[in-house]
Structure 1
Amino acid sequence: MTDVTTTDPFHAELLEIAREAARRAGELLRDGRPADLAVAATKSSPIDVVTEMDIAAEKLITGLITDRRPEDGLLGEEGSAREGTSGVRWVVDPLDGTVNYLYGQPAWAVSIAAEQDGERVAGVVTAPMRGETYYAVRGGGAWATGAWEGARRLSCRAAAPLDRALVSTGFNYVAEVRAEQAEVARRLIPLVRDIRRGGSAAIDLCDVAAGRLDGYYERGLHPWDLAAGDLIAREAGAVTGGHPGQPPSGALTVAATPAVFTPLRNLLVDFGA
């Protein structure tokens, strides 16, 4: 059972499906990763192993969802796409933080969100190497389970000015875009407490929710990168958005405490982020 406080049993049902699928996929990825992926002898390259694990995790997730809710739509990073007829669509990132996974870094996650009539209503991010799972339903708050006893409700950090904000970001794989993003970060660093680069958008969004970051921004995200984490951050009291008047998107995603969001977003727009 969940600890979210929702009066909508349907959304709670969707959340439970997402939690089970994320848990199973996380176990598959954690337990199926070769101990030394860089020298995996049975494949032509370590990237092949990661790709196969990624695809296997998405197949597990979409198979479970299809068994439970065959009329729903699907959108997955590894190519799963189905329109559906129920008004519900699942947005799936089976392995967010692929490079971290390749290198044995712990910051990788499984991210699953459910949308109803185009609005996100449930989301789960499981970070197996952290031993933590973050989840939320619309209007029910954001919660996490981990090494502590039971589930705890998440809340973003208390108000602090931008110059005392710890902010995370990410960088694109395309060299030219990455260079532009580095210039934005260079201009931003003197104006905040410090900048982090975690390597998983889903985990960064959940860290804003958990009060481990004051803010996070990135350009170039896909729907599956941010769907679950965006809901979790908002349900924890954070503000999320993109360019002024726009929702989070590939053009710009920002999530931050209410005090930090507007000044951070305005600076990013000024800097060309």
Structure 2
Amino acid sequence: MIEKAKKAAREAGKILLKHFGNVPQSAVRKKARNDFISFVDEKSEETIIKIIRSAFPDHAILAEEGGAFENDNPYRWIIDPLDGTTNYLHSIPVFAVSIALEYKNSLIAGVIYSPLSDEIFWASKGEGAFFNGRSISVSGTSILEESFIATGFPFKNKELLSDYLEVFKNIFQKCIGARRIGTAAIDLAYVAAGRFDGFWEIGLKPWDVAAGAIIIEEAGGIVTNFWGGFQYLNNPYIIASNGKIHKEMGEIIKQVFPSAPCADKFSK
């Protein structure tokens, strides 16, 4: 299954590379506030689904651009055919394909592929995490003051901007540096590989998180919601870390978010 996921990610990556820098504005549509799609997202998703369904025709599928096949099969694929669409459409070379697999609602495999850098991260439950064929693990940084942190802006939920900025200020003042690169899949992959020590974001969807979460966990890290729960796939408040700074990050975040805001604050 992981080999099929890797093949699908690489084939989708070829499509992204073919059209990178050549998507006309007329080919871009608006899905929701600050959320866009083009034929490239759709062709990438079609390619991934075709490869998966040719091998596993009975498996369920949840895909960002609507290519869903829901049934009662215990296996479900979770697909983001182009994570970092805004980057992609503005010719910023940071984007990825993300594919994950659940079995009975538990993540068992994940692949994240960055086509331009030809970097592929993957993991299978109980088998460890890998980057371009090498085993990877999260960083050993043990305190926030020595940590390098990634984040994502709540661009779809700007009504939460004040709270987000308060958390950002409190974390940024303690860590050695922070980055916002525009794709959660790569942020999570970088945590798994030890490039970042931690990551947090508001407003993520299952396809943004699933592959990265299993890769981080297999690399020795932790992924939770803001309040320490492991039901993060359907919770838009995500913390991911090497595990050693997780509690400290969570305590800072909970000063601003002691409990979850009303669900209707989030874009569909």
Structure 1-normalised TM-score? 0.86
Q: Report the secondary structure of 2:254's partner residue.
A: helix
Taking a change above 3 Å as real, the CA distance of residues 169 and 142 of structure 1, as seen in their structure-2 partners, is same
Match of 1:226 among 206, 209, 223: 209
Corresponding residue of 1:148: none
Match of 1:109 among 50, 75, 96: 96
Q: Report the secondary structure of 1:143's partner residue.
A: strand
Corresponding residue of 1:269: 254
Number of positions where the alignment pairs a residue of Structure 1 with one of Structure 2? 250
Q: Report the secondary structure of 2:26's partner residue.
A: coil
Match of 1:182 among 165, 174, 190: 165
**C-alpha displacement at 1:179, in angstroms?**
4.0
Q: In the aligned structure 2, how far is the partner of 1:119 from the partner of 1:268?
A: 26
Q: 1:1-273, aligned counterparts within 5 Å?
A: 14-35=1-22, 37=23, 40=24, 44=26, 46=28, 51-145=38-132, 151-173=133-155, 174-247=157-230, 248-249=232-233, 250-272=235-257
**C-alpha displacement at 1:155, in angstroms?**
0.8
Indicate if the aligned counterparts of 1:156 and 1:236 stay in contact, CA closer than 8 A.
Answer: yes
Q: In the aligned structure 2, how far is the partner of 1:216 from the partner of 1:105?
A: 21
Q: In the aligned structure 2, how far is the partner of 1:234 from the partner of 1:160?
A: 17
Q: In the aligned structure 1, how far is the partner of 2:199 from the partner of 2:46?
A: 30
Q: In the aligned structure 1, how far is the partner of 2:99 from the partner of 2:40?
A: 17
Indicate if the aligned counterparts of 2:205 and 2:236 stay in contact, CA closer than 8 A.
Answer: no
Structure 1 residues 92-133: Cα deviation after superposition (integer angstroms, max 9, x where no partner): 000001111112222200000011111111100000112100
Indicate if the aligned counterparts of 1:19 and 1:124 stay in contact, CA closer than 8 A.
Answer: yes
Corresponding residue of 1:5: none
Indicate if the aligned counterparts of 2:170 and 2:252 stay in contact, CA closer than 8 A.
Answer: no
Instruction: Determine which structure has the larger helix proportion and give its number.
Output: 1
Structure 1 residues 128-182: Cα deviation after superposition (integer angstroms, max 9, x where no partner): 112100000001000011xxxxx11111111331111111100122322334322
**C-alpha displacement at 1:45, in angstroms?**
5.4
Instruction: Determine which structure has the larger strand proportion and give its number.
Output: 2
Q: Report the secondary structure of 1:139's partner residue.
A: coil
Q: Report the secondary structure of 2:173's partner residue.
A: helix
Give ranges in structure 2 of 5+ residues lacking alignment: 31-35, 259-268
Indicate if the aligned counterparts of 1:89 and 1:114 stay in contact, CA closer than 8 A.
Answer: yes
Q: Report the secondary structure of 2:117's partner residue.
A: coil
Corresponding residue of 2:263: none
Amino acid at match of 2:178: I
Give ranges in structure 1 of 5+ residues lacking alignment: 1-13, 146-150
Structure 2-normalised TM-score? 0.88
* RMSD of aligned alpha carbons: 1.8
Q: In the aligned structure 2, how far is the partner of 1:163 from the partner of 1:245?
A: 21
Indicate if the aligned counterparts of 1:47 and 1:102 stay in contact, CA closer than 8 A.
Answer: no
